[in-house]
Structure 1
Amino acid sequence: MKKLLCIILTFVSYGTVFSQTPALIDKEKLFDLYQTQRYSEAANYLKSIYGKDVTDIKAISQIGYCYLMSGNNVEAEQFYTKAYRQEAQNLPVLFSLASINSRRGNIEKAKLYYGEIVKIDSNNFSVYKQLANLYSSNTDSLKLVYLLKANTINPTEGDVAYDLADVYATLQQREKAYKVLNIAMAADTGNIILQKAVLPIANFLKKYNEVILSGEKILKVDQDPLVIKDVAKAYYFTKNYAKAASLFKMLEAIGLQNEATLYYTSLCYRAMKNFPLAKDYTNKTIDEAISPNTADYYALLGLIYEETDKLPQANKAYKKGLEFKSTPTIYYRLAVLYDTKYKQPKQAEKYYALYLKSKPNPEIDKDEIKYVKARMEQLKTAD
């Protein structure tokens, strides 16, 4: 859309410059500035010719366009706003103002300008496409409305088909998503983006052979991890467990495994009666499912309980954290808890010893290490 708009504006500007401008303008100079994309210089040159109080809407739009192309959105908006005041229904001006405000994050103003375009031209594909892009959430009903409008006008346009299918998938309307993508793919058989987008939807709809056929073709030219995962799942559901496992392990080899891919790998080996590998991958799945920070979260929870004198809850939280990972922090907190709050020196000694064995950082934890060693000596003397 932006490229199309720029082309339109460029032709409008060229036409205006070379057929409507005063004789004072050096046409060759202006043409050279446009050709070499020195738009800021072109804007300043046009202002020097037209003067600061220019009122001709074509001249105002030319200068606004030059500022827009140079990236000076502030100046561009000023000139386009001036043009808008003169011709409120000028489509290029409205598109430019909407685009400028969208770039600057003024989404509500952009919506207003696009809304003005809809009032003038209710069948404008581009405006519905741009309006849909202003809504970030796929669950926003207006995003769906605008994408449907655009797709109805041009069902073969790939970008809109992709976005509409994505919204349908989010809304669990996968049959509709599949249909939208296939219409667009029929018009553009070489569109890899659309081919990739349809794979997870086709998998959900149990069109496994289609996923395998299309996915394998894609993988010959693009080893996309998402495609590998989709094809692997299709092989799994068609009971080609060896092929599925080999693809899932490709993801693991490049460090892109996750809980789901490891789980399916385990299922593949179980189906192939390879129980040792099935066990290994089940354990990997469990490890992947647990956050490496879980123990730290329980340590924090225990500390909060301890600081509010809820000692049983603190003790429970610390010990729950140890089920996920034995960390120096948890051992230290448990030792101090039993030492200073419960007054149980034997238990305290046990956790102080475990703290030292857990290899705390000698630089970061040097004060705690020093304290623990001294305290253990005190407890031994007391015995």
Structure 2
Amino acid sequence: MDEKKDLTLHMTKKGTPAIYKNFPMVPRVIFGVGCFDQLGDILLPKRKNSEAPIIYLIDDVFEGTPLTSRIPLLFNDKIVFISADEEPKTEQVDALVLMIKSEFQEAPSGIVGIGGGTLLDMSKAVAIMLNNTGSASKYQGWDLVGKPAIYHVGVPTISGTGAEVSRTTVLLGPNRKLGINSDYTTFDQVVLDPDLTKGVEKDQWFYTGMDCFIHCIESLNGTYLNAFSQSYGEKALDLCKEVFLGSLTPSEAREKLMMASWHGGMSIAYSQVGVAHALSYGLSYVLGVKHGLGNCLVFQHLEEYYPEGVALFRKMLAQHQINLPSGICRELSEEDMSTMISVSLSMEPLWENALGSSWKTQISRDTLKKIYRKI
């Protein structure tokens, strides 16, 4: 059953028999300072033989750093450094899968993604496509994947996206930005080491953390909200307030933001995001704006939909002296603007969560154009 219809069924037809989505969760997770060094022991039982490598997809900011020397390489394991400067693309996934299949006669024992949301999404997608045919773009949508992914592990080095826990891998395809939403997408193992987030540049730390904060606001104010998603969303929101409005030590902030990301991702697993994410998808597709920044650029103009959340967001901006870019859509051509609006409106589950089943009567192309022109 389609995920959107599934959620709509049990949220809107109260009093009648409901069918509830049986969502997957990450089956194994390890948390704690220094736990990254247990990765070798975690992977050892998953190795099929010496000819079936572990492929490590790692953010290229770590190339030549001490982290690389801690990778538990054995036999013919391979490290592939990948730039996270741009959003992950279906064509990148296809190229990586082709490279792996061409270089190794035997299928890998597993894929390990080390980095932020871009690397985690890339790793999930590659793990899926090593067991499925065709281009990754073919599987953008809900429950289109036919065969399980190979074993895959996520190791986040920045907190906020929730990619470590979600059942989706968001990719820019040839025609749209859309996730591969599948029960097979979820990581088999996640390694949460707060110390891996040390040294993240301040603006990036803030934008990615705000992705988590906005997850919570959209989930907690959505029509898909239920006790399951609410329990995770409220905890994540409280943690975000501690991190971005409190006076924590750096180590406390790293640990709590990592947990906020986890809980925020769990919150939207059984609900949805909303207006900010729908508009951010358009920004990413047309202008290549990174996801966390895109959410921030949009969210600041959404008082009509999330008044309390926007007020908190502005306090966080002020406390951390973050100056958002401005004017990036002001001179956009009508053609590009139209494409951006179309991409945003195609995210129907997000709009339905935000505004209900009658969302099409509440949102027009002109409404979105006015918001985009403010950015």
Same fold (TM over 0.5): no
Of structures 1 and 2, the one scoring higher in RCO (CA 8 A, sep 6+) is: 2
TM-score interval (norm. to shorter): under 0.3
Higher share in strand? 2
Higher share in helix? 1
